[in-house]
Amino acid sequence: MSLVRSHVLICGGTGCTASGSLSIEEKFKESLKKFDLENEVDIVKTGCFGLCEAGPIVVVYPEGAFYSGVKSEDIERITEEHLLKGRIVKDLLFKDAIEKDVIKSVDEVNFYKRQKRIALKNCGIINPEVIDEYIAYDGYRALGKVLTEMSQQDVIDEIKKSGLRGRGGGGFPSGLKWQFTKNATGDVKYVACNADEGDPGAFMDRSVLEGDPHAIIEAMAIAAYAIGASEGFVYIRAEYPIAVNRLEIAIEQAKEYGLLGENIFSTDFSFDLEIRLGAGAFVCGEETALIESIEGRRGMPRPRPPFPANKGIWQKPTLLNNVETYANIPQIILKGAEWFNSIGTEKSTGTKVFALGGKINNTGLVEIPMGTTLRDVIFEIGGGIPKGKKFKAVQTGGPSGGCLTETQLDEEISYDNLVRLGSMMGSGGMIVMDEDNCMVDVARFFLDFTVDESCGKCTPCREGTKRMLEILDKICQGKAEMEDLNRLDNLANMIKDSALCGLGQTAPNPVLSTMQHFRHEYIEHIVDKKCSAGVCQELLQIKITEDCIGCTACKNVCPVDCISGERKSLHEIDQNECIKCGACIDKCPVNAIIKE
């Protein structure tokens, strides 16, 4: 490797790629050539930086200058000013990276300062397509240590001691799972990685695989050694092409380096890894459905027991962990269980990655120590609610989780605490809602998702969630009665109690938690036939106020001719005819048309 004086890190995650980071890379190459800097500056295409809101992101080291929203036309300036002349281009920096003319490096920015990166350690740092970069950042040292210095049980004991719990949602103690699989009888065992991330808006696992695929390979090899497996599968959704591609490259490179295959580190241990692509069914994130899918069948959950630890892939003992769980493993082995369990809370050790979304300024990925409060995540790291709107709720756990309210903002984030509050950790989706969100509509959104994604196997989930959705539709249309609320509640609890798999058992959660915390909104819809957030179309009326100047613009644009009125006099909307499309609101030059 040659020595250079500057590194330009360009985010190559899915978000920044979508907003043009590939052309930025090309442009940088051109400019470096133009200014004859090719031998002095290196370009590194990295994984996700996390702050997707501000993409495409470019970070220049050694200064740690944090450029955001970079466009092709900015490249030449950055090259000439910064790389050639050594002057950071202030106006292109991320807004928080410059305060009163003082430039902050990327890790001093609020968004990053309070994060603790373990799973995302190498994301946005190394080029995921170059195994040497991973190795340079201690990569495969943990595997070496495990294979040459530790017994199988030593490894499992270390994981147990670390207190690591499954990051896919359930929070089951990982060490215990490993122990069960090791203890299970069988000549052939498998390790598998669940990369079928499906929660709407969640992309933690994608980012890890895009940014640091070797960490997963290393962790799976460690796990395979610990439980006595020699084959592994990564089940990943086909909608993650970049992640799949980088994982394929990583597997190839690991094979070349002898880090996968026969006699790894010249020991008796051999391990091979295969990729299985999922077709995008949410239910395939459920472990037994995932196994069915790996075996080539329709992804439908199997009854448990038997658990995968005893009868998994092809009825053989199988260890199945999620991507983020694996991402923690090499660090735990290298730095020790005590280091890991010193982070976080007593029963939820380490960190958790969240995908922050919704009504929040810094949309993106954050990794925080367990025990951080919701307020810190939303208002400090996340930068609060845009446009000065008022916080209403935060939804965690995706379609399986629940909503938390303003009074719960100072609660700590941990597995047990979130469950106690009526939500759950889930895989890490965190969606913030403000005063413009209707909570009945939010519940309906999530339920609509689970109705679509139900596999159709068991009655409560297949039939019951659909009936719940029908009741919610009625409520949102103002056609429900108070009795419907009881029916909704009964049905939700019955489904939770009797569905076959985790998807069905948790599907009612968004409804139950909004009914608990925002019951008044439900009642408002049912009794007053109103949606004060202004979301439920059927309950809204579009009205023309006294401010109308009689310009007839609204009348001309109305697609159903339901606005009447003479020129220069107050216009009126026929409520029976109005389809609430809102075209008139956009057209009115004096903002005299309102929704209420």
Partner 1 sequence: MENMVNITIDGQELSVPNSYTVLEAAREVGIDIPTLCYLKDINEVGACRVCVVEVEGARNLIASCVQPVNEGMVVKTHSRRVRQSRRTNLELVLANHNRECLTCSKNGSCELQTLSDELGVSDRNFEGAKREGHFDDLSPSVVRDSSKCILCGRCVNVCKQTQGIGILDFVNRGFQTVVAPAFEMSLTEVPCISCGQCINVCPVGALTEKDNTDLIWDALENDDLHVIVQTAPAVRSALGEEFGYPIGTGVTGKMVAALKKLGFAKVFDTNFAADLTIMEEGHELLGRVKNGGTLPMITSCSPGWINYIENFYPEFLDNLSSCKSPQQMFGAIAKSYYAEKFEIDPKKIFVASVMPCVAKKGEIKRGEMEANGLRDVDAVITTRELAKMIKEARIDFNRLEDASYDKVLGEYTGAGVIFGATGGVMEAALRTVVDVVTGDDLENLEYKAVRGIEGVKEATLEIGDLTVNAAIAHGTANASKLLEKIKSGEKDYHFIEIMACPGGCVNGGGQPFVNAETRNSIDIRVERAKVLYSEDAGLPLRKSHKNPEIQALYSEFLGEPNGHKAHELLHTHYQKKEKYNRNK
Binding site for partner 1 (CB under 8 A): 281, 298, 300, 303, 305, 451-467, 470, 487, 490-491, 494, 496-500, 505
Q: CB-wise, 242 or 284, nearer to partner 1?
A: 284
Find all residues with CB under 8 Å of 287, minimum gap 6, and list them: 194, 308, 320
Comparing CB distances to partner 1, the nearer of 490 and 545 is 490
Q: How far apart are CA 96 and CA 45, in angstroms?
A: 23
Residue tagged 């939700």 (tokens): 492
At 58, list the tokens. 């470019």
CB of 275 to partner 1, least distance (A): 24
- 224 closest CA partner among 329, 342, 81: 329
CB of 412 to partner 1, least distance (A): 24
CB-based contacts of 143: which residues, under 8 Å, 6+ apart? 218, 221, 222, 259, 264, 265, 330
What count of other Cβ atoms lies within 10 Å of the Cβ of residue 547?
12
CB of 292 to partner 1, least distance (A): 12
Of 300 and 443, nearer to partner 1 (C-beta) is 300
Strand partners, 233: 192, 274
Residue identified by tokens 């059927």 is 538
343 burial level (CB within 10 Å; 0-12, 13-18, 19+): middle
DSSP designation for 438: -
CB of 227 to partner 1, least distance (A): 23
Cβ proximity to partner 1: between 262 and 452 the closer is 452
* C-alpha R_g of the chain: 27
Alpha-carbon distance of 565 to 568, in angstroms, equals 8
Output phi, psi for 296, to 5 deg. Answer: 95, 10
Least spacing, CB of residue 143 vs partner 1, in Å = 37
> By C-beta, is 52 or 418 nearer to partner 1?
418
Cα atoms in the 13 Å half-sphere on the side-chain side of 316: 17
Between 13 and 502, CB nearer to partner 1? 502
Cβ closer to partner 1: 417 or 454?
A: 454
26 touches 61 (CB < 8 A): no
CB of 196 or CB of 210, closer to partner 1: 196
Output the CA torsion 566→568→572→577 (10° steps).
50
In the bound state with partner 1, the residue whose beta carbon lies nearer, of 166 and 211, is: 166
Q: Least separation, in Å, of the C-beta of 502 and partner 1? A: 10
Structure tokens at 299: 């992804």
C-beta closer to partner 1: residue 247 or 283: 283
Which residue from 471, 513, 511 is spatially nearest to 492, judged by alpha carbons? 511
Q: Cα-flanking dihedrals φ and ψ of residue 102, to 5°?
A: -95, 125
Query: Closest separation between CB of residue 197 and partner 1, Å?
Result: 19
Say how far apart CA 233 and CA 236 lie, in whole Å.
9
Whose CA is closest to 583, among 595, 571, 596, 575? 595
138: left (phi over 0), alpha (psi -120 to 50) or beta: left
The nearer residue to partner 1, 68 or 288, going by C-beta atoms, is 288
Q: Which residue intervals of 499-575 are DSSP H helices? A: 502-506, 509-517, 519-523, 553-557
Our CA dihedral for 133, 137, 143, 145, rounded to 10 degrees, sits at 140
At 173, is the secondary structure helix, strand, or coil?
Answer: strand
Q: Which is nearer to partner 1, 293 or 408 (CB)?
A: 293
- Closer to partner 1 by CB, 359 or 496: give it: 496
Q: How far is the CB of 450 from partner 1 (least distance, A)?
A: 8
Q: Which two tokens stand for residue 17?
A: 């790629």
Q: Which is nearer to partner 1, 404 or 507 (CB)?
A: 507
Least distance CB 461 / partner 1 (angstroms): 8
In whole angstroms, the minimum distance from the beta carbon of 584 to partner 1 comes to 33
> Smallest distance from the beta carbon of 277 to partner 1, in angstroms?
18
Least separation in angstroms between residue 352's CB and partner 1 is: 23
Q: At closest approach, how far in Å is the CB of 355 from partner 1?
A: 25
How far apart CA 352 and CA 336 sit, in angstroms, is 18
CB of 296 to partner 1, least distance (A): 13
Proportion of the chain in helix, strand, coil states, percent, rounded to 5 = 45, 15, 40
Q: How far apart are CA 459 and CA 456, in angstroms?
A: 8
